[in-house]
A and B are shown apart, each in its own frame.
Chain A
């Protein structure tokens, strides 16, 4: 400011104060980002050192040279001198199968039932609608023991079906699809009818392609939901071959003693985070849409 009489607002100390106020949001946000990033950073670094270094508790803040070794070992080996583990490649495959089955299964059965509820009138329609709706109120955790018993009685313990099918009934997805179906213009349906499309053709030729974005958004959310399941896989899998990776990590940790294969645990943790985090980052637009829409 060339003119010193322009007023107190432009004098030195105030400008500095302003600058600090402008900076404050950045400082807070950066601190926030760091709080979220720090544990991940430590884990990433830890996964590149040997077990002894980590066990001593003096983990350096720069990468070590054991990365290949650790990840290679965690990926394919089933034991160390200390203990037996399920190799990550098996746990990873189990997690992928479970997450995919849950996501695809939920989408498939809820899009079908939403189609029935939105596009047909039939006796007991509202009864079914409310029956589906009620499942919204009962997360798997609260009915875990009796559900476990049902699965056990059906002989589905230690099977992929047992891991995924009890989790695929989803009120949220059904409601989301129904909501979307209600926005399809009547004329579009009528045009299809005049073109000669019946309900099945209409579903596959028109409705399914139009639902693509919704399906993608929902897929992201449900894949993560499936991947992150904990209590259910803990109950219905006994065999090491059926372990999912999230369960595998806590089994490796045990009671959390210093003498542990921390290097492998950390490498496994990194690998366990990779697929869902990648999905969130690379499909961010769909992810946010799916999350916000499905809770409307």
Chain B
């Protein structure tokens, strides 16, 4: 067990800079999720920590040791791959034992360790089988077993659940969570799935175009997204983003339709400043009054537990509203909606960074 420090790490492919300087210190036993859309550089960053990708600039420090020039095998890490990467010609036991054998771990100890991992992962019955005789979920467990038996300083997960169907993914997600609680090994986990990120992470590193947009706990990232990008990436359905202007008094912000929303705190310095206004669909409620805007209901999706309403503001901008329970309106209805007090997110209209609260 150890800390993993990433210090101003950069990666270039020729003139193209894929990672533009990432800084984060992962605490001992912490579960860090690297989240972002495909191509954002999250996998590259993980692979640089693993030693599968060379580091153009900066340092990777694992357990106090700079590992930039070490081979993957000498970094004391274990990795779980998206497509499992099990050795097809070896039994489950041999798959898990291979890394230990290479390291010259004595046979009895290998057997104990594999048996223990198999017990944790409920793989005991499958030890003599080949990967091809296992289901997707079982293969994924073997891949995790291979990592566990090594008792490494850190686990690296590269989209480990992406190849599973939705139901199995949920189940495996819970298993990974339990495993992490039980073993408490420092983990770096790459995913593009925000649900995995929200449920598994101690902290999330949201990446976009090779930079860290935000580092924070899942709730921080959800409640106080640091940029429009994070705001749009986290939360489903995604946050509504509207053009607004802070009024002359700095007390409120004017919506496109003319509705005036009170600000949590007065911003006299920002008077008349155009902003991007973020409102989560779940923070809109049906109400009248000064803060309310009229909308035309265009589509209603009843999901059972809640309902998503696709509405349109008078100026033509669309607005998503998420309401608890079954639908109370139908297509063509006129509604009046307003955000809950204090549920506004303000971003700079030009560069999209969050305005200081």
List chain A positions with a Cβ less than 8 A from chain B.
185, 187-188, 190-197, 201, 205-206, 209-210, 212
Q: Mark B231-260, 1 if CB is under 8 A from A, else 0.
A: 000000000000000000000000000000
When the two chains form their complex, are residues A196 and B99 in contact, meaning their CB atoms are under 8 A apart? yes
Return chain A residues, CB-CB under 8 Å to B146: 191, 195
When the two chains form their complex, are residues A191 and B102 in contact, meaning their CB atoms are under 8 A apart? no
Return chain A residues, CB-CB under 8 Å to B79: 190-191, 194
Q: Which residue of B lies closest to A206 (CB)?
A: B87
When the two chains form their complex, are residues A193 and B85 in contact, meaning their CB atoms are under 8 A apart? no
Return A280 CB to nearest CB of chain B, in Å.
27
Q: Which residue of A lies closest to B97 (CB)?
A: A195
Return chain B residues, CB-CB under 8 Å to A205: 98
Return A53 CB to nearest CB of chain B, in Å.
56
Q: Is B52 an interface residue (CB 8 A)?
A: yes
List chain B positions with a Cβ less than 8 A from chain A.
50-52, 71-73, 77-79, 81-89, 98-99, 102-103, 146
- With contact pairs A185-B85, A188-B87, A190-B81 given, residues A195 and B52 touching in the complex (Cβ less than 8 Å): no
Partner of B102, one of A197, A209, A212: A197
Whole-angstrom CA separation of A206 from B88 in the bound complex:
9
When the two chains form their complex, are residues B73 and A193 in contact, meaning their CB atoms are under 8 A apart? yes
Q: Which residue of B lies closest to A190 (CB)?
A: B52
Return chain A residues, CB-CB under 8 Å to B102: 195-197, 201
Whole-angstrom CA separation of A194 from B156 in the bound complex:
11
10 A–B contact pairs at CB < 8 A?
A188-B87, A190-B50, A190-B52, A190-B85, A191-B85, A194-B78, A196-B103, A197-B102, A205-B98, A206-B89
Q: Which residue of A lies closest to B83 (CB)?
A: A187
Whole-angstrom CA separation of A197 from B88 in the bound complex:
16
Whole-angstrom CA separation of A201 from B101 in the bound complex:
11
- With contact pairs A196-B103, A197-B102 given, residues A209 and B89 touching in the complex (Cβ less than 8 Å): yes
Return B19 CB to nearest CB of chain A, in Å.
19
Return B155 CB to nearest CB of chain A, in Å.
11
Whole-angstrom CA separation of A192 from B98 in the bound complex:
9
Partner of B73, one of A194, A206, A209, A212: A194
Return chain A residues, CB-CB under 8 Å to B71: 193
Return chain B residues, CB-CB under 8 Å to A191: 79, 81, 85-87, 146
Return B226 CB to nearest CB of chain A, in Å.
33
When the two chains form their complex, are residues B77 and A195 in contact, meaning their CB atoms are under 8 A apart? no
When the two chains form their complex, are residues B52 and A193 in contact, meaning their CB atoms are under 8 A apart? yes
Q: Which residue of A lies closest to B143 (CB)?
A: A191
Return B160 CB to nearest CB of chain A, in Å.
11
Closest 9 CB pairs of A and B: A195-B99, A196-B73, A187-B85, A191-B85, A196-B102, A209-B89, A187-B81, A194-B72, A193-B72
When the two chains form their complex, are residues B89 and A210 in contact, meaning their CB atoms are under 8 A apart? yes
When the two chains form their complex, are residues A187 and B73 in contact, meaning their CB atoms are under 8 A apart? no
Return A249 CB to nearest CB of chain B, in Å.
42
